[in-house]
Structure 1
Amino acid sequence: MTASWPVALAVFLAGAGILGGYHFDMRYLTALPAWLPGAAFIATLCSASVLTVAIIRSALQLITRPFRRRAREKWQAQHIAALDDLPEPEAFLLAWAVANKTKVFSAPYFNPHTKALVAKGFLSIPPGNHRTDEMPFAVPDYIWDVLKEQLQEADIGQLRGLRPFDRRW
């Protein structure tokens, strides 16, 4: 029942048109096979059920949208609060990204600090093919905005131009 609703709508309209034509005895339908009304009826019923499910799903998504948005905002607030509990190397890495204005940066995949930040949800790995020595890491938008705001007053100028993945830290 998760078929494409535009296709189901096209089948429904075509079937309803054929059934309507047979109901009103249109002359051009006499050349069509005798089994066509039965097939059109079955196709119309099936497509109507797909359309009904699509309408119900859309209505439920519309009804639950505010609840899902509030739950997402609550989760993001808790996640942002966890920024204060980060160990110093992980906080340094996020501050370095903000200081260098690089929301997406590449680093070794097996770096323990980037792995920890990915596990905690403060970094993500964009989809695609990557190499383990140059894996792209992205800071989520809501985390990036909070970091920029928090570090606006901080003295992070000394972090500009550093290359934290060229040495052990």
Structure 2
Amino acid sequence: MPSIKDLLEAMTASWPVALAVFLAGASILGGYHFDIHYLTALPDWLPGVTFIATLCSASILTVTITRSILELVTRPFRRKAWEEWQAKHIAGLDELPEAEALLLAWAVANKTRVFSAPYFNPHTKALVAKGLLTIPGGSHHTDEMPFEVPDHIWGALKENLTKTDLRPLQGLHPF
């Protein structure tokens, strides 16, 4: 006999599994309803278990459909909020201290979105804290930590700095 834990774990099934269980259960219950003689050899408890499994799978499908509909309805609002956050984030580039701004300008001048720097550098740590640099996943050495400029920041930097002469920053390493 399954425990409550087993039933709760079954409720986390993916929708294709739930759909398969629902179709199988509905087929078995339909077979019992129409007195298909092949089912007479099955145990007497099977219709009850099948009914419960079919109800559970139907509830999983209902929740999945409801979540999908809600996601579709809220997608434009979430996209708008994300775009507003990015615009606010980009607007903060104008308020950066000179050393941090020069570091980002150096990355654009050298056409590198990912660069290595010491992890404990105060300028890179500040840019990471502000979300203007990210650290790619994986294991890294603290002396040569990779830093990456996020897409929306990179696009804004390239757009804003195309009018600026960045040749003096090319080839130099800021660390």
TM range, smaller chain: over 0.9
Count, aligned residues: 165
Gaps of 5+ in 2: 1-10
After TM superposition, what 4+ stretches of structure 1 lie above 3 angstroms from structure 2? none
Q: 1:110-129 to 2 correspondence within 5 Å?
A: 110-129=120-139
Matched, 1:65 2:75: yes
Matched, 1:74 2:84: yes
Percent identity reads: 76
Deviations 1:67-97 (A, max 9, x none): 1111111111111110000001110111111
Give the match for residue 142 of structure 1. Answer: 152
- Post-superposition shift, 1:3? 3.6
SS at match of 1:43: helix
Give the match for residue 44 of structure 1. Answer: 54
8 Å CA contact 1:12, 1:44 repeated in 2: yes
Amino acid at match of 1:100: N
User: How many Å separate the matches in 2 of 1:17 and 1:129?
Assistant: 52
CA RMSD of aligned residues (A): 1.2
Amino acid at match of 2:155: D
User: How many Å separate the matches in 1 of 2:140 and 2:13?
Assistant: 34
Deviations 1:112-148 (A, max 9, x none): 1111001001011112222212221111111101100
- Post-superposition shift, 1:61? 0.8
Match of 1:84 among 91, 94, 103: 94
46-55 vs 23-32, which moves further = 23-32
Using structure 2 for the length normalisation, give the TM-score: 0.90
8 Å CA contact 1:2, 1:54 repeated in 2: no
Give the match for residue 4 of structure 1. Answer: 14
User: How many Å separate the matches in 2 of 1:13 and 1:54?
Assistant: 16
Matched, 1:18 2:23: no
SS at match of 2:162: coil
- Post-superposition shift, 1:23? 1.2
Gaps of 5+ in 1: none
Give the match for residue 115 of structure 2. Answer: 105
Deviations 1:19-44 (A, max 9, x none): 11111122222222221111111011
User: How many Å separate the matches in 2 of 1:135 and 1:17?
Assistant: 58
Amino acid at match of 1:138: E
